[in-house]
Amino acid sequence: MTNAQSPESYMGKNALDAQGNKIGTISQVYVDDETGVPDWVTVNTGLFGTKESFAPLYGASVTGDGVVLPFGKDVVKGSPEIKDAAHLDADEQEALYTYYQQYMGGSATTGYETSSVDTGAVKSSGNADGYITRSEEQLHVGTQRVEAGRAKLRKFVVTEQQTVTVPVSHDEVQIVREPLQPGDSLDGATIGEDSIEVVLQQDKVVVAKEVVGVEKIKLATQTVTEQQQVTEAVRKEQVEIDGDTVATLDTNSRKR
């Protein structure tokens, strides 16, 4: 059973699962019109707490850290969406009961009946001292790192023409004439044909290719920070007086 608590004791507390994991923050408390006992709360869940999910207090307990619900975060987040969180009609109540009963062993063991909360269920911000609590949504904006794209570094082969100047040499034939000197041997001097030959040589250009590394390349990233404006609708409560009363100034308006 739910620990008997005043509505204010739930407001702003962390909603926890049975293992102590945070589900969200309790923003509103709903009471039974007949008994005045709190039996429903709304929990801010989702990214930055922007979603408000209904959860029953049956089976919940209040600890020093928050309110322990007999449900996990996924169950609370998956509850039927109520468009107007300030009012529960009969169909919305029935949808919520039906949803949570499947996680609580059926309607026979939940302790809930569809008549336990009247369609005029109200927020529990009122208390015995005559005050009501006015609430408003606060916008909390943060950042989350997500993948924006991918860059790939690849290498490929291209062919280009390269010209290198290389000095080359070759032998050429020239006739060297020297007159005979006195004392030179004249053996073999005859009239007739004769010949001598020499081997001519030249440089031949030889080309060889060698693969060598020339540099190391890698990809690096740098973070660039820029300013971006975020616009989001937030709700807040206002107060007014109904009935045949004489209007008076708001006490806060006189405190200048």
Q: What is the pLDDT of residues 60-106, one digit of tens each?
A: 888 887 999 999 999 999 999 887 766 677 788 888 989 999 887 54
Instruction: Please give the Cα distance from 188 to 74 (Å, whole number).
Output: 121
Name the CATH code of domain 7-131 (choices 3.40.710.10, 2.40.30.10, 3.90.50.10, 3.10.20.30).
3.90.50.10
How confident is the model at residue 120, as a pLDDT? 36
How confident is the model at residue 116, as a pLDDT? 39
How confident is the model at residue 15, as a pLDDT? 93
Instruction: Please give the Cα distance from 67 to 41 (Å, whole number).
Output: 10
Strands (E), the chain: 14-16, 22-31, 38-45, 51-56, 61-62, 66-68
Residue 69: CB atoms within 10 Å: 24
Q: Which two tokens stand for residue 124?
A: 């529990």
Beta bridge partners of 66: 14
Per the prediction, the chain carries an average pLDDT of 80
Higher per-residue confidence, 77 vs 128: 77
Check residue 9 and report its DSSP letter: G
Higher per-residue confidence, 164 vs 185: 164
CA dihedral 40, 14, 65, 76 (to 10 degrees): 60
Higher per-residue confidence, 39 vs 211: 211
List C-alpha distances in Å: 109 to 103, 117, 202, 206.
11, 17, 109, 96
Higher per-residue confidence, 4 vs 39: 39
Q: Which two tokens stand for residue 169?
A: 């040499």
Percent of the chain with pLDDT over 70: 78
Report residue 165's pLDDT band, with 50, 70 and 90 as the boundaries.
very high
Higher per-residue confidence, 96 vs 141: 96
Every domain of the chain and the residues it spans? 7-131
Q: Edge-to-edge, what's the strand order for the sheet holding 66-68? A: 51-56, 38-45, 22-31, 14-16, 66-68, 61-62
At 180-239, the pLDDT tens digits run: 888 777 666 778 888 889 999 999 999 999 999 999 999 999 989 999 898 888 888 888
How confident is the model at residue 114, as a pLDDT? 40
Higher per-residue confidence, 161 vs 130: 161
* Residue 108 parent element (H or E): helix 107-110
How confident is the model at residue 45, as a pLDDT? 81
| Range 30-35 average pLDDT | 79
pLDDT at 16 over 70: yes
Q: Is 250 exposed, middle or buried (0-12, 13-18, 19+ CB in 10 A)?
A: exposed
217-230: burial string, b at 16+ Cβ within 10 Å, e else: eeeeeeeeeeeeee
Check residue 80 and report its DSSP letter: P
Instruction: Please answer whether residues 58 and 1 qualify as being in contact, where contact means their C-beta atoms are separated by less than 8 angstroms.
Output: yes
| Range 36-50 average pLDDT | 79
pTM of the model: 0.42
Percent of the chain with pLDDT over 90: 32
pLDDT at 254 over 60: no
CA dihedral 73, 74, 76, 79 (to 10 degrees): 170
